Amino acid sequence: MEKVPFDEIGKTRKFVFISILSSMGILMDGYTLSIFSTALLYLQSTILTKAMFVSIAASSIYIGMFFGSLIFGRIADSYGRRKIYIFDLSLTAIFLFLTGLSQTLIEFFIFEMLVGIGIGADYPISSSIQAEFSPKRIRGRYLVLNMFSWTIGSIIFYFISIPIVFYVGTNAWRMMYISGAIIPVLVIISRTVIPETPYWLVKSGNEEEAKKVTKEFALEAGIKDAEPPNVIKEKTSFKELKNFIPLIIFTSVSWFSYDVASYGVWNYTPSLFFSSLSYIYSIIATLLEEIPVIVGVIICLIFIDRIGRKTLQALGFGLAGVSLLTFALISLRGTPSFIYLFLAFALMHVFHNIGPTNTTYLYPVEIFPTRIRATAMGIATASSRIGAILGVFAFPIIVSNISTSEGLIFFSIFEFIGLTVTILLAPETRKRSIE
């Protein structure tokens, strides 16, 4: 009887449990970034009194994520996913707590940057673990669900923020950050029971342990005879990256382009709405922006393993670019109203979540081999954080010194850059082996 390959074993309870835990780092990204978007309403009257200070503070967590993803992606390929996986969110918990105690812009910047290192470290590790434990038939769907946890984290925070604002008052932003330190602690404890992935074990020469993990998953799925993945046994080397330059350019530029617009808009949505609404209504309006996100994700889940990644990513970039540019040109007539901004952002969120929100995260772990998977994911993640820094740094300056219309044009340019690089360089990885 022919042995069943590891990536054809199918869905098991162990796999679902690992999927949930691998999504927690992304959930914390959504939670912590939403904290800043809301805390900004209070920080602007205390330590962030100028538009430049807002841009500097908003950039801090992305700078940390840049270094965290690069450094720990390389470490995860060399020394294993599981070792870092258990501890990376410890940084997030500790420094979220300290961010809530910061008294100056310098303290806030440093603590938020260290929070970002922890979250950035989790991106290449969690995504590699998710991809390497996923059955190839449903891998795309579960990586999309993994990314959707960003939205779940954001929604959780917005609901928590309402009682904090009402009961704490002007120091509400401090409690918002401190509240974020609780989730990582619970996740760290749960992650201690997760095994190392068979892909990395085989790559590192530990085939007996890989067989043991494979057998555990197979027996739970009712399969008696399964084999570990067929992985090339080579050490991780930065020199090998030169053989994948077109793919590195594709994953890095497309994710960079997406994050310029996505994080640039999302970081300031509550404060833009707050200019014409009270706090509670601005949060409700921000939560309503999650509805188009969910619509886009549902469409993506239906088609990601049917028509593939490239079509969805190109479609998402193209439609988001056209919609932003259209709203920008219309808004040249005057200051856009709340309804106008809401619709502009809502359309962008739908189109993004049909494609690039999910596929830019999914692509790096599907197109690079095990020996450099987390390293390449770290490079792509770091590139995306540069895009996020550009978006959050430029948007408040453009809006305060020029107009919202120019801000939307600025974002639309990067949507078309993402579309171009996808059409020219993106492969199709639907239902393919990741090795």
pLDDT at 28 over 90: no
Please report whether residue 240 resides in a domain.
yes
pLDDT at 381 over 60: yes
What does the block give as tokens for 318?
């193209």
* Triad 49, 163, 265: Cα angle to 5°: 50
pLDDT at 389 over 60: yes
Please report whether residue 371 resides in a domain.
yes
Q: Which residues, 6 or more positions from 285, have their beta carbon under 8 angstroms from its beta carbon?
A: 273, 277, 338, 342
pLDDT at 184 over 90: no
pLDDT tier, 45 (very low <50, low <70, confident <90, very high otherwise): low
Please report whether residue 156 resides in a domain.
yes
Specify the pLDDT at position 402. Answer: 59
Which domain, by its residues, includes 42? 4-425
Please report whether residue 433 resides in a domain.
no
Domain count, the chain: 1
Long-range contacts of 46-51 (CB under 8 A, 24+ apart): 47/102, 47/103, 47/104, 47/105, 47/108, 48/105, 51/396, 51/397, 51/400, 51/401
Specify the pLDDT at position 48. Answer: 57
Q: DSSP 3-state helix, strand, coil percentages of the chain (rounded to 5)?
A: 80, 0, 20
Partnered with residue 41 across adjacent β-strands are: none
**In terms of C-beta density within 10 A (0-12 exposed, 13-18 middle, 19 or more buried), how is residue 208 classed?**
exposed
Specify the pLDDT at position 335. Answer: 61
In terms of average pLDDT, the best of 109-113, 248-252, 320-324 is 248-252
Partnered with residue 4 across adjacent β-strands are: 226
pLDDT tier, 269 (very low <50, low <70, confident <90, very high otherwise): low
Over residues 189-246, the pLDDT tens digits come to 888 888 899 999 999 888 999 999 999 998 888 888 888 888 877 776 677 888 899 9
What does the block give as tokens for 148?
């959707």
CATH number of 253's domain:
1.20.1250.20
Over residues 149-174, the pLDDT tens digits come to 988 998 898 888 888 888 887 788 88
The mean pLDDT value for 243-271 works out to 84
pLDDT at 1 over 60: no
Mean residue pLDDT of the chain comes to 85
Please report whether residue 430 resides in a domain.
no
Please report whether residue 161 resides in a domain.
yes
Q: Which of 23, 388, 73 is nearest to 241 (CA)?
A: 73
Specify the pLDDT at position 51. Answer: 55
Q: How far apart are CA 75 and CA 83, in angstroms?
A: 10
Please report whether residue 434 resides in a domain.
no
Specify the pLDDT at position 146. Answer: 92
Q: How far apart are CA 429 and CA 21, in angstroms?
A: 24
Over residues 332-380, the pLDDT tens digits come to 766 656 676 677 778 888 999 999 999 999 999 999 998 899 999 999 9
Please report whether residue 431 resides in a domain.
no
